[in-house]
């Protein structure tokens, strides 16, 4: 049995999420079905994180165990051939020790949220960014975001359906920057609660539009109450960017 680590890129638009679902298509199901056609084996895909319906990934790290002998490059090519025309691609494949686990060995995860801040409707990025026509103050958003960095009880920013054992997490970074008409929010932590990034972004957008003061984000955090949440940002602007591992030298794992 060989453990193959995969780096997966996908457009989440047609999927009900990364994890296999009973009520619709998932990225996991697509990759597992492709692997069965390639190997003749039923395999289970394990991934560094979960994504909601409509959320995208630039470099999700996953693994699967295969009995049949394959060179990593040949396996990647075969999987990609069987994944077409679905918007899923394996961009890297390598062999890992059997005790390496895409989820449990992961020491850090990074997300990026993309907002297009312009009057004109989106064309090329429709379904891939949150369109906000009203002007956003990215500097105020960044200032407000710093109240969330560190170890906190993130109950306010946690989905009611979150399965995490507790709401306390350590947020390593939450940066907001403007790049032309794009406002980019970058978040990094060892792990995140369900809807945490989208909930934080939604409140920061309220600050950017002047509907909330900078201090209200910190006040919402201290409330430790989901009812204090101002807004949950839509899923289609969110991207899983990278997973970090102690033994990993891959450029996309930083």
Q: Catalytic positions, please?
A: 52
Residue 150: beta bridge partners?
Answer: 171
Q: Rounded to an integer, what distance in angstroms lies between the CA atom of residue 78 and that of residue 88?
A: 13
> 247, 242, 243: which is closest to 103 by C-alpha?
243
DSSP 112-133: EEEEEESSSPPSTTBTTBEEE-
Q: Are 67 and 58 in contact (CB under 8 A)?
A: no
Q: Rounded to an integer, what distance in angstroms lies between the CA atom of residue 161 and that of residue 228?
A: 17
Strands 182-189 and 88-96: unpaired
> 42, 45, 36: which is closest to 5 by C-alpha?
45
Phi, psi of 55, rounded to the nearest 5 degrees: -85, 145
Strands 88-96 and 168-179: unpaired
Count of helices and strands (H, E) across the chain = 5, 10
Q: How far is CA 113 from the centre of its chain?
A: 9
């Amino acid at each position: 049995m060989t453990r193959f680590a995969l780096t997966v890129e996908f457009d989440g638009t047609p999927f009900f999420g990364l994890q296999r679902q009973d009520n619709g298509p998932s990225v996991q199901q697509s990759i597992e079905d492709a692997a069965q056609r390639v190997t003749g084996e039923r395999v289970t895909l394990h991934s560094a994180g979960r994504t909601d319906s409509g959320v995208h990934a630039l470099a999700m790290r996953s693994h699967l165990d295969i009995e049949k002998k394959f060179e990593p490059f040949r396996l990647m090519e075969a999987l990609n051939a069987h994944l077409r025309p679905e918007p899923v691609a394996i961009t890297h494949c390598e062999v890992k020790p059997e005790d390496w686990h895409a989820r449990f060995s992961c020491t850090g995860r990074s997300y990026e949220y993309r907002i297009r801040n312009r009057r004109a409707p989106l064309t090329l990025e429709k379904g891939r960014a949150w369109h906000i026509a009203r002007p956003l103050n990215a500097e105020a958003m960044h200032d407000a975001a710093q109240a969330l960095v560190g170890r906190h009880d993130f109950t306010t920013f946690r989905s009611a359906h979150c399965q995490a054992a507790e709401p306390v997490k350590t947020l390593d970074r939450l940066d907001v920057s403007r790049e032309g008409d794009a406002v980019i929010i970058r978040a990094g932590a060892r792990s995140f609660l369900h809807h945490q990034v989208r909930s934080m972004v939604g409140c920061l957008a309220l600050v950017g539009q002047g509907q909330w003061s900078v201090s209200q984000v910190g006040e919402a955090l201290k409330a430790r109450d989901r009812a204090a949440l101002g807004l949950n940002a839509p899923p289609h602007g969110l991207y899983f960017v990278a997973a970090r591992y102690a033994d990993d030298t891959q450029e996309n794992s930083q």
